[in-house]
Amino acid sequence: MPSHKTTIDGVRALVVPGIGNSGPRHWQTLWEQHHPHWQRVQQRDWDRPVLAEWVPALESAVAGFPAPVVLIAHSMGCLLVAHWAQRAPLPVRAALLVAPPDPQAAVFPATARGFETVPSGRLPFPSLVVASSNDPFGSVDYAKRCAAEWGSVFAEAGAIGHINAESGLGEWPDGLILLERLLASSCSSVPTT
């Protein structure tokens, strides 16, 4: 994994997986392995997400950090962050929101409860929405709409599916570059340790 000492080392980050909890080959898991001070939000049931349960779990995880945290969300985790942010959240330095799924898409998990609508309010922290041009769970146009409504910067990552383990990205070095850019553009006065 490339070294990003100027902005990534020392950052307090919380990994926010989507449905299934990002397995061992997922870039979120690989990033977490290289940054042992990063933590992962824990959910009671990763396969049947219930918004009313997932929001308090995220709140508790963020509250466990002494300084504003960086959120690194994938898929359903992006929707979770957007919902949580509408409820007077704790301070967050920035959020990387990768592959937000469209609840109106035919392939959206039927087991998900409470995620049917996507919040449209501006997020109270800097954020970057990243989408793939061939994501079966959400189109680029949908991701651009989310970015616009959330006040996020938008980046298209190319044709790499749902940007998950099945995409064969390994440690996804391009994602680390995007994270580094997000952190460089976030408020430099916010402490990183």
Can you give the pTM of this predicted structure? 0.92
Evaluate whether residue 1 is within a structural domain: no
Domain span holding position 94: 16-185
- Asked if residue 90 is part of any domain, the answer here is yes
pLDDT in tens, the chain (193 residues): 444 444 687 889 999 999 999 999 999 999 999 998 899 999 999 999 999 999 999 999 999 987 799 999 999 999 999 999 998 678 999 999 999 999 999 999 999 999 999 999 999 999 999 999 999 999 999 999 999 999 999 999 999 999 998 898 999 999 999 999 999 987 543 433 3
Query: Is residue 193 in a domain?
Result: no
- The reported pLDDT for the residue numbered 7 is 64
What pLDDT does residue 187 have? 55
Indicate the number of domains in the chain. 1
Residue 136 lies in a domain: yes
Look at residues 131, 126, 143, 21 and name the one whose alpha carbon lies nearest to residue 70. 126
According to the model, what pLDDT value does residue 191 have?
36
Residue 190 lies in a domain: no
6 falls within a domain = no
The DSSP annotation for the chain comes to: ----TTTTTT--EEEE--TT---TTSHHHHHHHH-TT-EE---S-SSS-BHHHHHHHHHHHHHT-SSPEEEEEETHHHHHHHHHHTS-PPPEEEEEEE----TTSTTS-TT-BS-SS---SPPSS-EEEEE-TT-TT--HHHHHHHHHHHT-EEEE--S-TTSSGGGT-TT-HHHHHHHHHHHHHS-TTS---
Q: What was the pLDDT predicted at 36?
A: 86
Q: Are 73 and 26 in contact (CB under 8 A)?
A: no
Read off the CATH number of the domain in which 151 is found. Answer: 3.40.50.1820
**pLDDT for the residue 173:** 94
Assigned domain for 5 exists: no
Whether residue 9 lies inside any domain: the answer is no
